[in-house]
Amino acid sequence: MIDFPQRSRLVRHWPMLVAITAWLVLAVVPAFFQSEIVRAVVAVGCMGLMVYQWLTYRKTISGSNFMLLSLVVAGVTLASLWLALNVVRFFTYDPENDRTWAWHTWVIRIQTPLAWVVGLLIVIVFVWALLLLARWLSRKARTLTSKASS
């Protein structure tokens, strides 16, 4: 049986776990997701889950942890937006029709900076997590040396 603190942590983070699992399945089993409709449903579902996840974080977490988790949520949301735009890009591929082709090129112009922003968010979250790990390790080392000298 899961004790109460672990259960509350799982309840607090379930939308993030579901969204990341959907993205992993999308990446590992691409044959199942050949349908653009399925990709669109996954993208829109993940964006909805991330809105709910952010609202949950806003109510339960504060300070720098809230900022870090908000960046993670923003990264997953923007990646899902990129996937949704990729579906739009697929359905607007029609070089014969100028109006549809204009939408297609507009989506391509939007996706490029969006991908850069997602990459930047990944780097920021990774560096922040490394700094948190380094701070935790230094505190652990200090407590071990203070116990050893006592």
The residue extents of the domains of the chain are 4-120
Segment 95-99 mean pLDDT: 88
Q: What's the pTM?
A: 0.84
Least confident of 40-49, 94-103, 107-116, 129-138: 94-103
User: What's the pLDDT tens digit per position in 68-80?
Assistant: 999 999 999 999 9
% of the chain exceeding 70 in pLDDT: 93
Segment 11-32 mean pLDDT: 86
What is the rounded distance in angstroms from the CA atom of residue 14 to the CA atom of residue 6? 12
Q: How confident is the model at residue 7 (pLDDT cuts 50, 70, 90)?
A: low
Is pLDDT of 32 > 50? yes
Distances (CA, A) of 119 to 5, 7, 14, 73, 114: 33, 32, 24, 13, 9
